[in-house]
Structure 1
Amino acid sequence: MLEYLKSVLFGIVQGITEWLPISSTGHLILLNQFTPLTVAADPARNQEFFDMFKVLIQFGSILAVVVLYFHKLNPFSPKKTEREKKNTFSLWGKVLVASVPAGIIGILFNDVIDSVLSTPYVIAATLILYGVLFLILESRNKQPKVKKFSELTYQMALLIGVCQMLALIPGTSRSGATILGAVFLGCSRFVAAEFSFFLAIPAMLGASGVKILIFLVEGGGFSGPELGILLVGMVISFIVSMLAIRFLMGFIKKHDFKAFGWYRIVLGIVVVLYFALSGAQMMPV
């Protein structure tokens, strides 16, 4: 029962942090340091399960985007004009182009990312770095050139995809990197946030597919409790993601991203101080 309650907690954290530019993976890894998921007596099995768990509960977050933006993302909607359908196909084309860089690097360096970069030290560093970048970006006060998706070029989409590639480093934040890159390239906050949401669909589906394949082949499949813990996390992630997405889109209508930048910096400093003062080892988690 305790592990199911932990799964609820992980689902809440995932649902909130996936869409806010503050790093879901970083938060999940840090949370697992303090309240680790324990599904077996074997520590190696627990690590294997968590590596898969932290990716697959993102599926609940993906479903939230699909539900909230189903009409906007559906090029076959009978309620759309031919021009609107064409624009929707174009949007999907840009999403797919932007997905290529992270897809290639993620497949090639998946093991390195999990075994070498998933440490509190790396997470703290990227939290602070991108927090500072958000503050610098928002201090520029430049008027956006791209205020609707039809103005977003394929070249810009590819560059945003390169920014998403950087988010493979834990603590960076996929949404944070893509939003930061999109705003830097001249997109409005609204376009940047929504494109980040849409870009998550192929990115998360691809990552989830790779992780579950590796787990099934190398880990031997799921036990009953493991599957239950995973499903609970996914459902909670879906519900909380719905709320988080609505919150963010409402928030950026009146505010900039500076609050998220300061949050990242403060959290990164807290992480460094905790491990420095407590003497805890910054080992891969």
Structure 2
Amino acid sequence: MNVFEVIVLAIIEGLTEFLPVSSTGHMIIASSLMGIQSDNFVKLFTVAIQLGTILSVVVLYFKRFFRSFDFYFKLFVAFIPAVIFGLLFSDMIDELMESPLTVGVTLLVGGVILLFVDKWFKNADIDDADEISYPTALKIGIFQCLAMIPGMSRSGASIVGGMSQKLTRKAAAEFSFFLAVPTMFAATAKKLYDFYKDGHTISSDEINLLLLGNVIGFVVALIAIKSFIGFLSKNGFRVFGIYRIIVGAIIIVLILSGHSLQII
């Protein structure tokens, strides 16, 4: 990977990680257009730059993370399903991750769902993520597990899960952001552990690329989160649904027309 490729992928990660549009789908298109060949460092990079986006959530909602211990327990309860499902179905998830067609179809189907979400869950009465109960946190965590299907979108699944439990769009989105911190941190830690366990090492140049990617991802994610909350509260999910359908269709058309796409 070169500096230009790192900048592009980091911007995409920062923009799409917390939006219900699937960062994986966008990574596929971008990496294929730029001709990035997947290797051990590239696979590590696409996960490790999540640390920057995680930090953006902590910075934006710094006071919320120190409001009460009850907040952490709820996040832990919501995080548990991802751990269980991840351990039970790791092989199946790995197989799906090798299928760009799965990503394209999932993006398209998820987009259709987002077209109707606002009508399905319009009787919300919880406007503060701190007000959710432990059973509600667990249910949202179960919804998040749907994101183990590539292209589903972690934020999209958990936000819809929150709305199904009568959270407003704003409250559901914010809880999704909070839940991203332990979930993405665990995924990054595991990827780093596996990378070193398999005997791989990182050169000084690669460390610099990782740092650059995380800094860019952090800044872009700050802007994306603040903009998303305001847009979502006023406009809902329809625009994101249409956008997902377009991106999913592009991936499917590229595959059917003989283009070789890869999940990096």
Q: TM-score, normalised by structure 2?
A: 0.93
Cα distance change of structure 1 residues 282 and 237 upon mapping to structure 2, 3 Å threshold: closer
Distance in structure 1 (CA, Å) of the matches to 2:90 and 2:6: 24
Q: Deviations over 1:231-250 (max 9, x none)?
A: 11111000100000110111
State, as a whole percentage, how many aligned pairs show the same letter.
Answer: 39
Matched residue SS, 1:183: helix
Distance in structure 2 (CA, Å) of the matches to 1:107 and 1:36: 32
Cα distance change of structure 1 residues 132 and 148 upon mapping to structure 2, 3 Å threshold: same
Alignment correspondent of 1:34: 33
User: Are 1:142 and 2:122 counterparts?
Assistant: yes
User: Are 1:62 and 2:54 counterparts?
Assistant: yes
Distance in structure 1 (CA, Å) of the matches to 2:59 and 2:31: 29
Cα distance change of structure 1 residues 284 and 253 upon mapping to structure 2, 3 Å threshold: closer
Unaligned runs of 5+ in 1: 39-45, 76-87
* Greater C-alpha radius of gyration: 1
Q: Deviations over 1:15-64 (max 9, x none)?
A: 000111111122223322222445xxxxxxx4222222111101000000
Distance in structure 2 (CA, Å) of the matches to 1:102 and 1:141: 24
Alignment correspondent of 1:267: 247
1:280 to 245, 259, 262: 259
Cα distance change of structure 1 residues 283 and 6 upon mapping to structure 2, 3 Å threshold: closer
* Residues paired across the two proteins, number: 264
Shift of residue 226, structure 1, vs aligned partner = 1.8
Shift of residue 116, structure 1, vs aligned partner = 3.8
Cα distance change of structure 1 residues 235 and 9 upon mapping to structure 2, 3 Å threshold: same
Q: Check conservation: 1:27, 1:171, Cα contact below 8 A.
A: no
Alignment of 1:237-252 (within 5 A): 237-252=217-232
Alignment of 1:7-156 (within 5 A): 7-37=6-36, 46-75=38-67, 88-110=68-90, 112-140=92-120, 142-156=122-136
Q: Check conservation: 2:24, 2:151, Cα contact below 8 A.
A: yes
Cα distance change of structure 1 residues 67 and 273 upon mapping to structure 2, 3 Å threshold: same
Q: TM-score, normalised by structure 1?
A: 0.87
